[in-house]
Chains A and B, each alone.
Chain A
Amino acid sequence: MSVDEGQAAEKPRSLLKEIDLRAVAPFVALALLLVLGALTNPNFIGIDNLANVATRSAFVAIIAVGATFVISSGDLDLSVGSMLAFVASLMILFMNSGAIADPHLMLAAAVAFAIFAGAACGLLNGLVTTLGRIEPFIATLGTMGIYRGLTTWLSQGGAITLRSPEIQNIYRPVYFGSFLGLPIPIVCILVVTLIAAFVLYRTRYGRHVVAVGSNRDVARYSGIAVDRVRTIAFIIQGLCVAIAVLLYVPRLGSTSATTGILWELQAITAVVVGGTALKGGAGRVWGTICGAFILELVGNIMLLSNFISEYLIGTIQGSIIIIAMLVQRSLTRKS
């Protein structure tokens, strides 16, 4: 009954407690998982295995950082998985075209091209949502189909593989190399997250994102260009996808029609597990990263423990997002 909801919303609650619980919960869950993992398999807690897990979580973690912006501003982007496949395919095709002879220059141009393509895909999502006044769920469901379809068409149902061995050799270390002893994907996660946290918590734009996500009318009456803020959030999402592409391509050197399938589920799950409110208005970048680790850890534990078939990974991830929503809601109610 509507009466109940009105009351629940007005009921005074301690915000301090709420913030603490919500912010701490994902890290507590991460710690519990580490303990659980250590109990199932002694190899689990080793540095090598954990670094491996963190490295593999890089794609989803970086995409999820972008999703944190979109979700904080009150929108949703379902197209990230197909967007990754599409941008990665374009990047490989660009390098295969041989337009630039020098492999270093070619790679630099391809990186710039991928970033541009990611931003453009994000911009398209943003414009369809804001200018087109279409629910983000539907708008990005549409572009999800479009990007996926284009990828399938580009690959003609097969795979798109990076042909030049020189470029492969130069590019490989970006995924497999390390910097100051840390695998480069982990360095990438840290850098992207630091920048994102700075933008979200310490800049005017970040404040606008939170305001737009909390209450669009208040934002509009406060002179904030709501549609611009939302569109830029989609562009940030596109850029994050592009960065994930830059790590993805050197790993396998090829894409196919199934690249990045269900990554939107993982990215959104990471954001929700991290404590960002799905209705907008509260973004937690570090929580998102934590959420991405949790997802990868669950997969890793499943692999090492042999309890559950690893083919059920999607089922488990789907369950995690539902459980995370239930936990989020109960944390809000209690305090």
Chain B
Amino acid sequence: METNAAGQRTPVLAARRISKSFNGVQVLFSVNFDLQPGEIHALVGENGAGKSTFVKIMSGFEQPSSGEILLDGKPVRLPANGQAEHLGIVIIHQEFNLAEHLTVTESLFLGREITRFGVLDRKRMRAETRRALDLLGSRIDENAMISSLPVADRQMVEIAKAISKDARVIFMDEPTAVLSKEETGVLFEQVRKLRDKGTSFVFVSHKLDEVLELTDRVTVLRDGQWVKTAPTAMLDGESIAQLMVGRELSSLYPAKREPDVDEEIVLSARGITTGFVRDASFDVRKGEVIGFSGLIGSGRTELMEAVAGLRPRHSGEVTIRGVSMSSGDAHAANRAGLAYMTKDRKSKGLLLGSRMAVNLTLQSLDQHGKLGYLSPKSEANALARAMRRFDIRVRDGRVVAGRMSGGNQQKLMLAKVMETEPEIIIIDEPTRGIDVGTKQQIYHFISALARAGKSIVVVSSELQEVIGLCTRVAVMREGRIVGWLEGDEINEQEIMRYSAGLKKMAG
């Protein structure tokens, strides 16, 4: 590798005093950054700290307002729209960019198909795909349709795609958000192998344990400013979190409070069976927070959607405060006081092109006027109240949901669900893709709601979250509830044993 006079290696990619404004709002302030050949560099920061914008600038999808980008020490203007891939700079998006109706091989070679005498060389492309997947230790069939793959496998295909492009710099934006622990392990192993061969990675993640496990150096951004770059070995989770929020984090989880044993049972699900979920039963008492844990694809969301009437059930019974609910009737469940908050805030939770007020009241329009008429004043009051109550921080109340940070979107979604004044709230992945500070706030909202007598079901893939919040935890595996944990049993080892199938409920 090239070295300069001071004996330092030339960074493969570097940023010098990069600033960026959108419509007069500055989101990045003179950020410096350098990426060494063969290093894994973590980029961390709260939501809205400017990570995504920075990644877009460094991969050519946005141009900086000022400052310069150096590739191999030379100033460059990165070509827009992903053309930087030809320079070896590849970005793996948080959201997938795979066309559902293509096969794995077709996806990998989309736009750069190999031809022989002008005809597609399918055989060679299949072989190349197989090689890339094998390199990742993945058993995904190269001829499978993307639509038939679970999310985790799609993520692997994205990564294989990046590898097959012989990238020198790979940006990974929350690559593990949808991966199980095992899959994450496999991914990390491959990332390390590629690093040892000289590939550089920028790893954007909210999961600090993974940052500590995988990366060589960490750069922290806060409110669009560079805060610190340091070798990962010199930091621990607590100190990174403090650098991110700029203050000490008091305990992340509020104290648990268990309701009386003979407190009224407000929600009862008996023998719920859908296409995938088999014979799942559970009860929730008034003021209780219960958790549902399990691997991705273990049927938790499907079960909850069936309970909430968002998907029909083949058999089983749902009773809300003594009233039996008919299958697939979300409206009735809503009226009976049950609200379901989706994990998919961008495609199922919020109208991204609409303002906050429209989103907030969408589920509870009955409250804002008579005979179908909507009172703008009443809606404005509701928005002001919700912004105070859930601490939604935006510069302008007229902003559209799609332009808010993930944390604010999540708070808005919670506020929207709470507008229906539910007694039972099912929250699917309460903190997916949001920063530590907002997470803590959401945990406190959940706890406060439970103290106010609401019953809450938390579905989460983050073990710490169910452990920290819930007084009872169900573990699902392959569509069934395989274990119930209470008190001291609620710990990572126990949950993993059940979800990995090493242990099963007696009977």
Contact = CB atoms under 8 A, between A and B. Distances in A.
B81 A203 contact: no
Chain B binding surface SS class = loop
A108 interface: no
Nearest to A215: B351
Interface in A1-45: 1-4, 6-7, 11-16
B347 A16 contact: no
Given A3-B97, A207-B374, A223 B110 contact: no
Contact of B340 (A204, A206, A219, A221): A221
B101 interface: no
B350 A218 contact: yes
B500 interface: no
A225 B331 contact: yes
A122 to B, nearest CB: 19
Given A204-B366, A204-B374, A220-B310, A16 B97 contact: no
A222 interface: yes
A114 B382 CA distance: 43
B22 A12 contact: yes
B364 to A, nearest CB: 9
Contacts of B365: 204, 207-208
Contact of B23 (A7, A12, A225): A12
Interface in B344-368: 344, 347-354, 358, 361-363, 365-366
B362 A207 contact: yes
Interface in B192-236: none
Interface residues of A, number: 34
B82 A3 contact: yes
B349 A221 contact: yes
Nearest to B61: A7
B330 A15 contact: no
A3 to B, nearest CB: 4
Given A6-B97, A16-B398, A207-B365, A214 B354 contact: yes
A203 B372 contact: yes
Contacts of B460: none
Contact of A3 (B81, B347, B361): B81
B382 to A, nearest CB: 13
A315 to B, nearest CB: 34
Contact of B362 (A14, A211, A217, A281): A211
B23 A203 contact: no
A205 interface: yes
Given A12-B22, A202-B373, A204-B369, A4 B347 contact: no
Contacts of B342: 221
B81 A4 contact: yes
**For the side of the interface on B, what is the size category?**
35 or more
Contact of A211 (B22, B330, B344, B351): B351
A202 B373 CA distance: 6
B358 A207 contact: yes
Chain A binding surface SS class = helix
B403 A15 contact: yes
B56 interface: yes
Nearest to A1: B111
A242 interface: no
B372 A6 contact: no
Contacts of A16: 398
A262 to B, nearest CB: 32
A247 interface: no
Interface in B423-450: none
A297 interface: no
Interface string B17-38: 0000011000000000000000
A285 B81 CA distance: 36
A217 B376 CA distance: 25
Contacts of B361: 207
A16 B399 CA distance: 9
B264 to A, nearest CB: 25
Contact of A215 (B347, B373, B376): B347
B135 interface: no
Nearest to A5: B97
Interface string B294-311: 000000000000000010
A15 to B, nearest CB: 5
A210 interface: yes
Interface in A178-204: 202-204
A76 B13 CA distance: 49
Contact of B399 (A1, A15, A211, A223): A15
Nearest to A16: B398
A203 B22 contact: no
A15 B310 contact: no
Given A1-B111, A204-B374, A223-B330, A7 B351 contact: no
Contacts of B380: none
B347 A12 contact: no
B373 to A, nearest CB: 6
B99 interface: yes
A224 B366 CA distance: 12
A1 B363 CA distance: 36
A223 B310 CA distance: 9
B348 A217 contact: yes
A14 B399 CA distance: 9
A7 B56 CA distance: 9
A130 to B, nearest CB: 16
Contacts of A215: 347-348, 351-352
A204 B375 CA distance: 10
A14 B23 contact: yes
B496 interface: no
Nearest to B344: A217
A220 B351 CA distance: 12
B248 interface: no
Interface string A226-240: 000000000000000
A6 B158 CA distance: 14
B353 to A, nearest CB: 6
B463 to A, nearest CB: 26
A223 B362 CA distance: 9
Interface string B368-401: 0100111010000000000000000000001110
Interface in B291-342: 310, 330-331, 334, 340, 342
A218 B349 contact: yes
Contacts of A6: 93, 95, 97
In this complex, the member of A204, A205, A211, A282 whose beta carbon has the largest number of chain B beta carbons within 10 angstroms is A204
Given A4-B81, A203-B374, A218 B347 contact: yes
Interface of A: 1-4, 6-7, 11-16, 202-208, 210-211, 214-215, 217-225, 281-282
Given A12-B23, A281-B351, 15 more contacts: A2-B99, A7-B82, A12-B22, A12-B403, A202-B376, A207-B374, A211-B362, A215-B348, A217-B344, A222-B363, A222-B416, A223-B334, A223-B363, A224-B362, A281-B353
Give the 4 A-B residue pairs with the shortest CB-CB distance, closest first.
A222-B363, A204-B365, A3-B82, A217-B348
21 contacts: A2-B97, A4-B82, A6-B93, A12-B22, A13-B23, A14-B23, A202-B376, A203-B372, A204-B374, A206-B374, A210-B354, A215-B352, A220-B310, A221-B310, A221-B340, A221-B342, A221-B349, A222-B362, A222-B363, A223-B331, A223-B363
